[in-house]
Structure 1
């Protein structure tokens, strides 16, 4: 299983994690084409002990690659995705340009890997958003065992959801404020450091944001619609990496607390943590390859109502590893 891979955005935070993951997994590549928006850049990227020279994206012939991974902005994806597809590339686009598009294949590799054949046919696939992955992996455990009738989730998302812009802005603002200087939002509507934002994205007529609506849409596309619905509220918190969620569910079948805990403990996607264990993204989530589940509680007087907390490394596990797994699925099925 090998392929020729072009990566536009190899030097972004996620791009670096993708290359690290390829190294860690000893993923065999026939060739790698690191792409840059700059012309005349004389640099190379080392993967698995081999150097690959950087090329300008506007000068690159996409027919040389089997898969093109776009870790760029929406504007760049809009400009280049069709060009890559016309040259025969299967495009994996992480710009969120196509998020929520019902005609574009969305894959969470652990759950709906079978959709990769449709993605190859259409030559376009997108990974689910990191908070969608976190919610889907956790809810799939309960959905398979008991059925989920209804779910409400509050997502406390770290600034790395916005990539380098988020992490660099939080670091920059923190430095300024600690030195008694005014903060600089750098494109955000309010200060990031020592602050939180009540929502992420643009508020729609439904009073959900476009970001929340995408999480809801992706979760329902992968798991199916819940009879009594799914609601998501996303809040931006001043944390560099690691997403936390508080989830309330109504199951279709009655269950005991121990049965729900056992389902999480037995799943390959989740790790059940002790209820009295204090979890934090810095100490526990970063570099973790599972969704951490804690504080599982049953609503008093109900046999179907439960709540719990989730924590996940959104950048490495939710994005980079998911992207590499999607690329591997394409290589296996193409």
Structure 2
């Protein structure tokens, strides 16, 4: 990467932006200068890159002719409009927010699975990421599909509060403190108590009983994997964890499963840590094993008791650092190496 790029971070005061800038420093991303764009430049948000504080600019009035690359780090609709404005100005925008784009000209990419889709970046000037749950799932399912022929996926995803941004993080932190001190706290993000609680669904459900995000996961995963007939059933459960998703996954295949082959295949997936221990003390958790960890974690891999064509597993991933920021950085690195340098 000999060329260096002027970069804008759209939504620079978000948790995803913080992770993006940390990873760019760690991975030596070819940055010349970085602009931090927010909706309220007069806020007291503390934003720094490579240990140096950055002045905040107003995303709505920023001149995008100054930059070549931009990362969208927050799904706020106003910031999304600014990302589209950047793309219209010729900037290549890599979305790390995980929001759903309804423009078929925008490729949706998990680099380990469908990096070839990045060749379409110039159609709209925007590269999107799938839902964070699918970012975690896709590399695992792709590896197992190559062996046994994946037919169906059933999953329950335990969603960390940080998936809802700063408002959701504040709800969890402040409501926890309030309840411990017998005080009332008015939530801004969650519809019901999240502290010391588990919510049975992530949003209102439609007539089919699924929420919009559950349907999105089910529609998106077959496209990512190139398996149009794949059946997906997803249940999303918000839990009182700050960072790190955890997924209980049941898979069914066309062919009979070999547990030994599955173990070997997953052990060879880059960026994946396979936990083979059967001890409860070694079980993977989103807090102790996923948070701040750039790797996916797979544990409790086991054959179904009554179905030779099925596997079950437990999957953990840092929803912000791994499934948002790293996915976007990895896409941008390929763009720089293969298309822009």
Q: TM-score, normalised by structure 2?
A: 0.90
1:97 is displaced (CA, Å) by 4.9
SS at 2:196's partner residue? coil
Counterpart for residue 319 of structure 1: 324
Which one of the candidate residues 199, 216, 222 is aligned to 1:197? 199
| Distance (Å, rounded) in 2 between the aligned partners of 1:46 and 1:183 | 31
User: How far apart are 1:162 and its partner, in Å?
Assistant: 0.7
Pairing partner for 1:257 from 252, 256, 259:
259
> 1:58-112: CA deviations, max 9, x gaps?
3311111112222234321343233212211122234455346544311112211
8 Å contact from structure 1 (residues 184, 191) kept in 2: no
CA 208–164 in structure 1, closer or farther in 2 if over 3 Å, else same: same
Counterpart contact for 1:105–1:119, Cα < 8 Å: yes
Matched residue of 1:230: which SS? strand
Structure 2 residue aligned with 1:18: 20
SS at structure 1 position matched to 2:163: helix
- Deviations along 1:124-181, one digit per CA (max 9) or x if unpaired, are 1211221111111221110122220111111111111112122111000000000011
Deviation readout 1:21-61 (Å, 9 max, x if unpaired): 11111212122111122356899954346665432223311
Residues in 1 aligned to 2:59 and 2:112: alpha-carbon distance in whole angstroms: 31
Q: Is the 8 A contact 1:26 1:48 kept in 2?
A: no
Change (3 A) 1:42 1:235: closer
Q: How far, CA to CA, are the matches of 2:110 and 2:317 in structure 1?
A: 15
Partner of 1:112: 114
Deviates more, 1:297-306 or 1:235-244: 297-306
Out of 183, 186, 203, the residue aligned to residue 184 of structure 1 is 186
Distance in 2 separating the partners of 1:195 and 1:173: 11
More off after superposition, 75-84 vs 174-183: 75-84
Q: Choose which of 296, 303, 313 in structure 2 pairs with 1:298.
A: 303
- 1:130 is matched with which residue: 129, 132, 137? 132
Q: How does 1:69-80 map to 2 (within 5 A)?
A: 69-80=71-82
Q: How does 1:1-334 map to 2 (within 5 A)?
A: 1=1, 2-38=4-40, 46-48=48-50, 52-99=54-101, 101-225=103-227, 227=229, 229-273=231-275, 274-276=277-279, 277-332=282-337, 333-334=339-340
Contact 2:175 2:185 in 1 (8 A): yes
How many Å separate the matches in 1 of 2:9 and 2:297?
30
CA shift at 1:117, angstroms? 1.8
Aligned residues, how many?
A: 334
Is the 1:196–1:236 contact (alpha carbons within 8 Å) kept by the matching residues of 2? yes
- Aligned equivalents of 1:41 and 1:159: distance in 2? 23
Of 91-100 and 247-256, more deviation after overlay is shown by: 91-100
Q: TM-score, normalised by structure 1?
A: 0.92
Residues 77 and 93, structure 1, Cα contact 8 Å, conserved in 2: no
Given that 1:74 and 1:96 are in contact with CA atoms closer than 8 Å, whether structure 2 keeps it comes out as: no
The question of whether the paired residues in 1 share the 8 Å contact of 2:106 and 2:123 is answered with no
The 1:39/1:263 distance shift into structure 2, 3 A limit, reads closer
Residue 264 of structure 1: CA displacement?
Answer: 1.6
Alignment partners' CA distance in 1, 2:161 and 2:229: 33
* Paired residue secondary structure (1:107): coil
Q: Is the 8 A contact 1:41 1:55 kept in 2?
A: no
Residues 183, 191 of structure 1: 8 Å contact kept: no
CA contact (8 A) 1:216 1:232 kept: yes
CA distance in 2, matches of 1:257, 1:96: 33
Q: Which runs of 4+ in 1 moved over 6 A?
A: 40-44
- 1:271 counterpart SS class: strand
